[in-house]
Amino acid sequence: MSLNIELIKKLTQTYGPSGNEDKVLEIIKAEVKDFCDDITYDALGNMICKKAGKGKKIMVAAHTDEIGLMVTHIEDEGFLRFTTIGGVFVEQTIGRRVIFKNGVQGVIGVEHLEDKKEIKTEKLYIDIGAKNKEEAQKYVNIGDSAAFAGEFIESGDRLISKAFDDRIGCYVAIEVLKNLKTKNEVYFVFTVQEEVGTRGAAAAAYNIHPDFAVAVDVTSTGDTPKAKKMAVSLGKGAAIKVMDRSIIVSPSVREMMIEIAQKHNIPYQLEILEFGGTDAGPIHLTKGGIPAGVISIPTRYVHSVSEMVDKNDVEASIELLKKVLEK
């Protein structure tokens, strides 16, 4: 299988912080519309692509939003103060570039601090080069959101970019959607607002009420220098989630996924994430319980502007998801 690198690049580079996912949803819609029977949107903005069928009702969830910043105040001198959208490591943002929905770019600056430990959101600001408040307001206003800039690079087997979390999950879902051959009825849900609390997924699961659900997201790795111990590494295959803070995948679901991977010779690894959660969290507790699993793409430097994935893991995830849905 060869990956559609251009599509992956387009997905990661599109603007889409939580609450402003529409541009990403448009791109996905254009890719999948000829392969679904029905595309709908719910009250929160999730996009649901249905492939009709007679067998089990399965829901796939991949989130379209990325972390970002929201403008809360404009100083008289034209600097923008902000709050964070999702889990942003503020210490890592100084000097980085951000992009607004209308294409305006800015740089993140910081007040003078005596101690690095004092770095907090309220000491930071965005500089879009405006000379004063009036000029700034021509381009940006309070309530506008910005995404981080992080260009896409291909380097051998590895890909580097911002927002692989979870645009790579969306890509995996898109590839499977296009190539799926099954009698099951599958709902591919491109969810919103995952980064601010896995909010979109629960609403979608409530409406669809599937028999089974699979979330596709990223997970960290333990293969960098003096990393926190974790048995997941880049290039070792699709990660089958055992547990994170939002879900303990039921042993029977986990075993089922392992069996499928083994049967079809798909490289896989087992994942325990000690912090963080995914859309599967709220989904598996909806309406009296929905059996759910997670396929994770191993990613280094999650929530930075240079997340890194391995092409082999992406391919393995596509294969695994396809076979799980076809069962």
Partner 1 sequence: MLLKELTEIMSASGDEKEIREKIKSIVEPYVDNVYVDKMGNLITCKKGKKDKPKIMLAAHMDEVGLMVKSVNEDGTLSFSPVGGVDNRILVSKTVKVGEKKINGVIGAKPIHLQKREEQQRPLDYDSLYIDIGATSKEEALKHVSLGDYIYFDSNFEILGNDYVKAKALDDRIGCNVLIEVLKNEYEYPICVAFTVQEEVGLRGAGVAAYNVEPDFAIVVEGTVAADVSDSVPHLVSTELGKGPAISLMDRTALYDKKVIDKIVKIAEENKVPYQFRRIASGGNDAGKIHLTKGGIKTIAVSVPCRYIHSFNSVAFLEDFNNTVKLVDLIIKNIEKEALI
Partner 2 sequence: MDYKNLLKKLCESHGVSGHERGIYDLVKEEFAQISDEVTEDKFGNLFFLKKGTKGKYKVMLAAHLDEIGLIVKDIDDKGFIKFTTVGGIDQRTLPSQEVIVHGKKDILGVIGSKPPHLLSLGDMEKAIKIEDMYIDVGMSKKEVEELVKIGDVITIKREFRELLNDYVSGKALDDRAGIAVMAVCLEELNKLYHYHDVYAVATLQEEVGVRGAITSAYNVEPDIAIAIDVTHGKARGLSIEIELGKGPAIGKGPNMHPAVYKGLVEAAKSYNINYQVEPLPGPSGTDAWAIQISKDGVPTGLVSIPLRYMHTSVETANMKDIINSGKLLAYYIANLPEELEGHLCY
Active site residues per annotation:
194
Contacts of range 133-136, beta carbons closer than 8 Å, 24 or more positions apart: 133/74, 133/75, 133/76, 133/77, 133/78, 135/78, 136/74, 136/78, 136/79, 136/80
Among 54, 143, 251, 265, binds partner 2 (CB under 8 A): 251
Among 55, 87, 129, 222, binds partner 2 (CB under 8 A): 222
Among 28, 32, 60, 203, binds partner 1 (CB under 8 A): 203
- Is 211 among the annotated ligand-binding positions? no
CB of 48 to partner 2, least distance (A): 22
Interface region with partner 1, contact rule CB under 8 A, candidates 70-78, 128-136, 156-164, 173-181: 70-78
Burial state string for 301-319 with b = 16 or more CB within 10 A and e = fewer than 16: bbbbbebbbbbbbbbbbbb
- Is 209 among the annotated ligand-binding positions? no
| Amino acid code (one letter) for 135 | E
Interface region with partner 1, contact rule CB under 8 A, candidates 15-23, 162-170, 218-226, 311-319: 15-23
Whole-number Å distance between alpha carbons of 122 and 254: 43
* Binding-site string for partner 2 from residue 287 to residue 326, where x marks contact by CB under 8 A and - marks none: xxxxx-----------------------------------
Restricting to residues 223-242, name those near partner 2 by CB under 8 A.
228-231, 242
Whole-number Å distance between alpha carbons of 136 and 155: 38
Whole-number Å distance between alpha carbons of 190 and 90: 27
243 in contact with partner 2 (CB under 8 A): yes
Whole-number Å distance between alpha carbons of 207 and 213: 13
Among 254, 300, 303, 311, binds partner 2 (CB under 8 A): 254
111 in contact with partner 1 (CB under 8 A): no
- Is 63 among the annotated ligand-binding positions? yes
85 in contact with partner 1 (CB under 8 A): yes
55 in contact with partner 2 (CB under 8 A): no
Collect all residues with Cβ–Cβ distance below 8 Å to 297 and sequence separation of at least 6: 164, 168, 169, 172, 216, 217, 218, 219, 238, 239, 309, 313, 314, 317
143 in contact with partner 2 (CB under 8 A): no
Binding site for partner 1 (CB under 8 A): 18-20, 42-46, 70, 72-73, 75, 81, 83-85, 122, 142-143, 145, 193, 196-197, 199-200, 202-204, 206-207
Binding site for partner 2 (CB under 8 A): 222, 228-231, 242-243, 248-251, 254, 270, 272, 274, 284-285, 287-291
Annotated binding site for Zn(2+): 63, 165, 195, 217, 303
Annotated binding site: 63, 165, 195, 217, 303
